[in-house]
DNA sequence: GTCCAGGGTGAAA
DNA sequence: TTTCACCCTGGA
């Protein structure tokens, strides 16, 4: 759903349910919402017992909590905006990737040297289905950056140019392409985007004028969609693959960055120094339509292995267990 | 305080 | 195919 659609839907209902639960089959909010797919989710302080995140989906501010009950882990959603669009429960379900069958990934790759142990010990990581425009800008911002800074940049854009939809510090919509296009490169530089500012503006103009229809890429083939995205200045294969995987339904996309390349070299014997494009080809060949989710498990594992308290033996024992 | 790495890309060599 | 500049923030 586009921002415009969600805004018009919003006018229809003023009385959406403010609290609801979703059967998520064990979704883990931390790794899914704050694991590097999306950059506008914030951990609610002191929520160790029930990991809780605040964020905005479309034009609605929400609070997402992992609930542990007798039926297993489930997800509780609280609407923090004044109202929510019709069918908001379905919108959240869609956004969170609930319904994707993780058991199929397990059965196919249980014996995989890298992600086998990861999915055996930890099945809560899901692929989000984000808004393509926000996703595109987020990953343009990711170039030679780090996750804290990407979050800073993307949230600065929302705070300065989006509409307020809640009382929290980060409760803003992500601004539409024409709004961003109307500001200019210097404005984004002043927000701290650095050289990435000169990539965001042309992308915003292309989407705003209709020259680039991001939603149409959901219907296109993987290679066709990737070729389209890569035409944007500042969007190479890695960033295109992230947008394709996290917002455009391309489950075979396999973004390769320095971490993933290192993992592929270590676990699958790829020659050291192989270029990212070839590494991505190898992974797509190996993982097929599970590429995108496999890459997330790989990325998650690499991140954990770098944290001191997770040790460095890279075994299943170094991974968090299902609760 | 300094130093350095960080979910890359595009242009030049 | 390889090398380098591009911005600048957070953490060591």
Protein-contacted positions of strand B (CB under 7 Å): 5-11
pLDDT of residue A271: 92
pLDDT tens-place string over residues A12-56: 444 557 999 999 989 999 999 999 999 999 999 989 889 999 999
Burial class (CB within 10 angstroms; exposed 0-12, middle 13-18, buried 19+) of A44: middle
pLDDT tens-place string over residues A283-322: 999 999 999 999 999 999 988 877 533 333 333 223 332 3
Q: What is the pTM of this model?
A: 0.91
Q: Distance from residue A97 (CA) to nucleotide C9 (C1'), in Å?
A: 32
Using 70 as the pLDDT threshold, list the residues of chain A that sit under it: 1-16, 307-323
CB-CB contact of A93 with A44 (8 Å): no
Nearest nucleotide to A258 (CA to C1') is B7
pLDDT of residue A108: 95
Q: Map residue A182 onto helix, strand or coil.
A: coil
Which is catalytic among the residues A21, A151, A198, A238?
A238
Nearest nucleotide to A236 (CA to C1') is B9
Catalytic annotation on A238? Answer: yes
User: Rounded to an integer, what distance in angstroms lies between the CA atom of residue A271 and that of residue A88?
Assistant: 47
Protein-contacted positions of strand C (CB under 7 Å): 1-2, 6-11
Cα–Cα distances in angstroms (integers) from residue A196 to residues A38, A53, A124, A172, in the given order: 18, 28, 32, 22
Protein footprint of strand B, defined by Cβ closer than 7 Å to any strand atom: A 35-37, 142-147, 149, 195, 230, 232-240, 242, 255, 257-260, 276, 295-296, 299
Tell me the torsion sign for CA atoms A21, A23, A28, A34. negative
CB-CB contact of A40 with A170 (8 Å): yes
User: Rounded to an integer, what distance in angstroms lies between the CA atom of residue A97 and that of residue A90?
Assistant: 11
User: Rounded to an integer, what distance in angstroms lies between the CA atom of residue A151 and that of residue A140?
Assistant: 12
CA-nearest of A42, A232, A44 to A152 is: A42
pLDDT of residue A102: 85
Angle at A29 between CA A71 and CA A235, to 5 degrees: 145
Q: Distance from residue A42 (CA) to nucleotide B11 (C1'), in Å?
A: 38
State the nearest residue by CA to the C1' of B7. Answer: A257
pLDDT of residue A299: 94
Nearest nucleotide to A254 (CA to C1') is B7
């Amino acid at each position: 759903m586009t921002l415009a659609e969600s805004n018009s839907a919003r006018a229809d209902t003023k009385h959406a349910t403010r609290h609801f639960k979703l059967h998520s089959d064990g979704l883990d909010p931390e790794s899914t919402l704050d694991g590097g797919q999306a950059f506008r989710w914030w951990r609610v302080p002191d929520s160790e017992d029930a990991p809780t995140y605040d964020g905005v989906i479309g034009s609605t501010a929400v609070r997402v909590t992992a609930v542990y009950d007798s039926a297993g882990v489930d997800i509780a959603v609280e609407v923090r905006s004044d109202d929510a669009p019709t069918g908001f429960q379905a919108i959240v379900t869609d956004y969170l990737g609930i319904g994707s069958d993780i058991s199929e990934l397990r059965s196919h790759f249980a014996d995989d040297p890298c992600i086998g142990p990861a999915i055996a010990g930890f099945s809560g990581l899901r692929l989000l289905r984000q808004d393509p425009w926000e996703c595109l800008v987020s990953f343009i911002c990711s170039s030679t950056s780090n996750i804290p800074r990407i979050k800073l940049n993307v949230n600065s854009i929302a705070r300065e140019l989006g509409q307020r939809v809640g009382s929290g510090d980060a409760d803003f919509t992500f601004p539409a392409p024409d709004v961003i296009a109307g500001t200019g490169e210097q404005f984004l530089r002043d927000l701290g985007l650095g050289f990435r500012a000169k990539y965001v503006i042309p992308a915003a103009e292309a989407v705003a004028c209709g020259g680039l229809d991001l939603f149409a890429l959901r219907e296109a083939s993987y290679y066709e969609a990737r070729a389209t995205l890569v035409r944007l200045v500042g969007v190479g294969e890695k960033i295109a693959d992230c947008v394709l995987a996290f917002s455009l339904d391309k489950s075979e996309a396999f973004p390769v960055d320095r971490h993933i390349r290192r993992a592929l070299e270590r676990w699958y014997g790829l020659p050291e120094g192989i270029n990212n494009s070839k590494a991505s080809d190898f992974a797509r060949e190996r993982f097929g339509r599970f590429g995108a989710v496999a890459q997330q498990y790989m990325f998650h594992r690499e991140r954990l292995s770098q944290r001191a308290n997770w040790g460095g033996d890279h075994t299943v024992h170094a991974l968090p267990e299902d609760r």
